[in-house]
Structure 1
Amino acid sequence: MTTTIEPPAVEAPALGLHTDLTNEAYHADKTSLSSSGARKLLPPSCPAKFRYEQDNPPAPTKTFDYGNAAHKTVLGNGPKLILVDHDAWTTKEAKAEVADARAQGGIPLKRHEMQMVKDMADAIRRHPLAAALLDPAYGAPEQSGFWIDEASGIRCRVRFDWLPSIQGGRLIIPDYKTTTDASDDAMQKDIAKYGYNQQADWYETGARALGLGDQNAELLLIAQEKKPPYLVNVIGIEFGSRVIAGAKNRVAIEKFAECMSTGNWPGYADHEPNYLALPGWAENRDKEIYL
């Protein structure tokens, strides 16, 4: 099945770096491709899912709220945090306050959740490397960039969590992530699961295209756990993983260009069946037992 949906007409932000563009205006540009969009275009997802989610943003979840609230307290920019001071949000009064908070564009939180994100921000400030990377004296949060990919001619975009104010020489781009487990083993799995290596390549490519720093820009993940003691792990992506990511991003860009040109956003299998084998581990297991 092929989904054909034309993106709505919006006035696209100008090319270049924007220091004061709202998050809503950034995401409203359906004519450009972001890092998260590039990942959504590729398997195990597909263009049909990418376009549907662009036109039908998912409802907020508690995990999403926690991440945005932590970004607000740690980075100093984001939706207003609104206390809904009820132990349970199942009453009519509590539900009305939650709805009102969301109508204001804010994030409703319980009292202990307010304390949690405050404690997370305090833990970041106590971490020597994370605190240095996010020092408000030497940088600013939530800056957006738009550029043209020369090979395909499409518009690309990026929203940096944080950019240093001094952008000469080698640029270090910190990106803040909240997680249940920030250990090396867990984050290595998350890099594969969420495509953080693709994000690193995308952001570094964007920085170069926007003329930020020299040609050696590097993204560092600042991963923080959401339970006490709110441990922090600053993680770089190895070169080989970013090379693979660059190849994947190139495929995504070309796929986006084709879909934009044709207006077709295909799903899994449109015209012929997909023939699938057993997973490699299962095939090897069963060969030894049965063949």
Structure 2
Amino acid sequence: MNQHVSIPKGFKPGIYQGVPNDSYHGGPGISKSGLWTIETQSPAHYKFGERESAKHFDFGEACHFAVLQPELFEKRVVRGPDDRRGNKWKDLAEACTVDGKLLLTSGDHDGVCAIRDAVHADERINSIITGGKPEIEASGYWIDQETGVICRCRPDLYRADLGGVLDVKSARSAHPDVFARAVINYGYHSQEAHYSDGWRILGRTVDWFAFLVFEKEPPYAFAVYELPPSIVEEGRVIMRKALNTYAECVKANHWPAYGEGVQELSFKRWAYRLTEAPEFESEPA
């Protein structure tokens, strides 16, 4: 184990139920989203973002309640006025904050209910969500043996009896071609690798990992997708690279951005429209 990494006093790897969102996001460990920021932006962007409070969007959180915990939806989500203007909204918003509830406009609330009804009308999906003893948003923490850093993840739904994870995504389009691009753009292949590997390290069986993707506008179409092992392995390598970078930054307490010193830019052949492109030893990425 990398002894340069500081482990918080009293930290114990494991899976914990009922950890509030804010406590999870502000707690120990590096998440997939943090590693993805390091890989696709820079360590400096991750370090800066670490100091910002987590932003949670009420519509998306309400959808998670409606789809994954429909029995709690009516208790936790309030149908408000048609818009957010005026004292009527302000007073109700203040009361919801005190009560720990989510407030939605009437239109957003009705949309969330329509998404819930569309998803649960599918008997197979409904059985995965409501059958057995699903673990909803359990928080897992483990120590990466190669770097010694604490990692964490929070699967939307895990079924021990089925040995699988169901992750819920909202999208403008659930079309397979569109979602395939989203997998690469947002690192969902890395998410599957990070979550499933972490869950296995913590002693859980993960035989399958599926994405439930629903559209936020009528007709609220949805689909369920699995990723091929080859693209998940690509995501796994990305996570390993980012983990190594993170560990080096922690060790040195140095969080670089886009490199240091003067750098020469590279250009692809298509950039040379009116002049002849130079001979490249290899085409720049």
CA shift for structure 1 position 59: 4.5
State which of 20, 35, 50 in structure 1 corresponds to 2:32: 35
Paired residue for 1:284? Answer: 270
Q: Is 2:132–2:161's contact at 8 Å kept on the other side of the alignment?
A: no
Which of 250, 267, 275 aligns to 2:264? It is 275
**Residue 189 (structure 1) aligned to one of 175, 178, 181:** 181
The residue that corresponds to 2:14 in the other structure is 16
TM-score by length of 1: 0.83
The one-letter code sitting in structure 1 at the alignment partner of 2:257 is G
Tell me, in whole angstroms, the C-alpha distance in 2 between the residues paired with 1:95 and 1:59. Answer: 20
Looking at structure 2, the residues matched to 194 and 90 of structure 1 have their Cα atoms a distance apart, in angstroms, of: 34
**1:94 match:** 89
Tell me the equivalent position of 1:4: none
* Runs (5+) with no aligned partner, structure 1: 1-8
- In structure 2, relative to structure 1, the CA distance for the partners of 1:13 and 1:182 (3 Å cut) is farther
Question: TM-score w.r.t. structure 2 length?
Answer: 0.84
SS at match of 2:138: strand
Please tell me the residue identity of whatever aligns with 2:58. Answer: D
CA distance in structure 2 between the partners assigned to 1:13 and 1:121 by the alignment: 37
State the distance in 1 between where 2:262 and 2:91 align.
49
Number of aligned residue pairs: give it: 267
Q: Label 1:267 to 1:275 Cα distance change in 2 as closer, same or farther (>3 A).
A: same
Instruction: State whether structure 2 residue 226 is matched by structure 1 residue 240.
Output: no
Contact 1:46 1:267 in 2 (8 A): yes
- Change over 3 Å in CA distance of 1:10–1:285 after alignment to 2: closer
- Alignment partners' CA distance in 2, 1:237 and 1:94: 42
In 2 relative to 1, CA 108–247 (structure 1 residues): closer, same or farther, beyond 3 Å?
same
Match of 1:49 in 2: 45
Q: Which amino acid aligns with 1:286?
A: Y
Matched, 1:207 2:202: no
What amino acid sits opposite 2:30 in the alignment? Answer: L
Q: Is the 8 A contact 1:223 1:232 kept in 2?
A: yes
Question: Residue type of the partner of 1:124?
Answer: V
Q: Percent identity?
A: 23
Match status 1:117 vs 2:112: yes
What is the distance in 2 between the residues matched to 1:178 and 1:158? 19
Mean alpha-carbon deviation: is it higher for 134-143 or for 177-186? 134-143
What is the alpha-carbon root mean square deviation over aligned residues? 2.4
Q: C-alpha offsets along residues 66-104 of structure 1, whole Å, 9 cap, x if unaligned? A: 21110011111689323332x332324423433553465
Counterpart residue identity of residue 31, structure 2: S
Deviations 1:183-221 (A, max 9, x none): 0011011001100000011111012101111xx633211
Q: Which shifted more, 129-138 or 139-148?
A: 129-138
How far apart, CA to CA, are the structure 1 residues paired with 2:173 and 2:34? 25
Which position in structure 2 is the counterpart of 1:131?
126
CA distance in 2, matches of 1:153, 1:70: 36
SS of aligned partner of 1:266 = coil
Worse overlay, 118-127 or 131-140: 131-140
CA shift in 2, pair 1:262/1:143, >3 Å: same
- Alpha carbons of 1:96 and 1:286: their partners in 2 closer, same or farther (altered >3 Å)? farther
Is 1:84 aligned to 2:74, yes or no? no
